[in-house]
Structure 1
């Protein structure tokens, strides 16, 4: 491991360890998404995430987060954000209903290395508008990921996410207050990876970087407010939102999506992006 302009550059073996953490994250997200059905509570989903972490001997990078800044420590292992909640929804007694949209952000640590990803779950029968919101947010994530290559710049990712969200007839709100980020021995590291911006700007991407790309989009405006619990962020206009995220490693062979079960092979190959696992 070394630092380049304060950005952590990983060795192949360190990326392999991050892949192990990423697979824990992928497994937990898959189980929580499957359990996001009418009648389930957000607290029950969080317990599934806890069980997966314990099963693999991992630890949570969400639980207790924030204490060092003097705010209330985050009480869950997953941020579970329903409908108008954009991010950082606290799991508890809220009951999911048919037609809800639920964003689940989740992470894990193995041997000191972090994984972090988010998925949007559709509860029961949802409207076409809600289904398209989730799919178009997911598409924008992959549009950004597809721009990651040695020699490109962080702004190339940002511009691609923004362009993707703006390419649809519906005028989605692109939440600018929260960004993707570097990841490694900490969950949030340099560089920031905004979901909007100009191409060819920002830090240059190199082999050994690990980045989280995570667009958040709403059916209305991007304006938001943080509630009195210090965590829950919801839209000001009450519009519903979606959140997708993956941890991406830049290897000598291409990209390895550390939080996808197949390493991102199917999505990357479909977009003509080199797939670079270190298996």
Structure 2
């Protein structure tokens, strides 16, 4: 277990690395020290956090997007790598890549939204998706799976990272009804009996409908102090990363 990269069980022989960061082990002030938000701690803190992550995990580069709760999926190829810029990241909410991208991590940021990483370990095809309420209802998960299928993925496995669970994600009844009208499995109830959206169930239903095995589901961000949560911490909340890479 790494100091600040929590990796679910995965077959080490596959050569696929999977990880979800927590709040500890970095240099970001006032956000639990390890955060990867777009503005957390300024560029020096972000750069140092990424340097520590790269050194500890063993990959050479981390790719992220300017996340906008969309269904935009980017194919990471040589052209994408050539134009990608840390200071002007392309808009979108998912990245997919095929063989030949060893040492480059695909990453998504989240604080209560759902970070999902996926792989066909045999064919060495990987993906990462940021799935908030709008993205889940809009179809970011099936869009990501479809993009990976287009690359030749067959036997896909998904790891669903830490996010706010349905028992904590209270919303107005009208919002819960609207979500359930799109994905019935999202209908939920909080522990205290009010309407909720269950993103865990919604994402799981979409993955299984697309023929993807769900190998791992992370804890609730709101109730886990070692994780960032926007619902709990407000504007001061940092961001975790969900990462996947080819070794």
The alignment's TM-score, normalised by the length of structure 1, stands at 0.29
Which of structures 1 and 2 has the larger relative contact order (alpha carbons within 8 angstroms, sep 6+)? 2
**TM-score, normalising length from structure 2?**
0.31
